[in-house]
Every structure is written in C-alpha cells, then in structure tokens.
Amino acid sequence: MELRLFIDGSVARYFRLKPLAPTQSIIGEDADGSIEVLLEITHPMEIVPIIKYWLPMIRVLEPRQIDEQIRQDLRRYLEIQ
C-alpha cells in the first residue's frame, strides 16, 4: 500500500537523514522546508506508531483510512480522563 505524508519543515531534516522506511522517496518540497514523502508499506502498523510519535509535525495525506484511524485513536485518548 502506498502512503503519502506531509512532514513539517521543522522536522524534515530528520527524515532526510533517516527515512521512515527503505521505500521512502521525497516527492515534493516547499519553500518553508516541509516535504511530502511517499512510502510503500505492507501493513498500517508499520508506520502508525511512528506517525503518532511525531504528531503534529506529520500528517497523513493518503490513504484517508489511515488518517481517520489516527484521528479516532486521538479522540478516544482525549476522552479518557
């Protein structure tokens, strides 16, 4: 499955030096240093914990179902008091 991510410019240098996965490729770069990357994964759990670690500096652009899974997890977490 292909995964497209937005990575904020404040942390993009880390992902240039150490990619999230061997299949990572940078497919876009903005003037502020933020990058868009494309990854190939076999299962969402390969990457979801890493994305959560780097929130809010990483955002899932595609596929929508992984973005929604992360959002649901965060909502559940915030409801726990």
HEC letters along the chain? CEEEEEECCCCHHHHHHCCCCCCCEEEEECCCCCEEEEEECCCHHHCHHHHHHHCCCEEEEECHHHHHHHHHHHHHHHHCC
**Tell me, what's the pLDDT at 81?**
67
17-61 pLDDT, tens digit each: 999 999 999 999 999 999 999 999 999 999 999 999 999 999 999
- Structural domain for 52, as ranges: 2-79
Q: Which CATH number belongs to the domain containing residue 75 in this structure?
A: 3.30.70
Indicate whether this model's pTM tops 0.85.
yes
- Structural domain count, the chain: 1
Whether 64 has a pLDDT exceeding 80, the answer reads yes
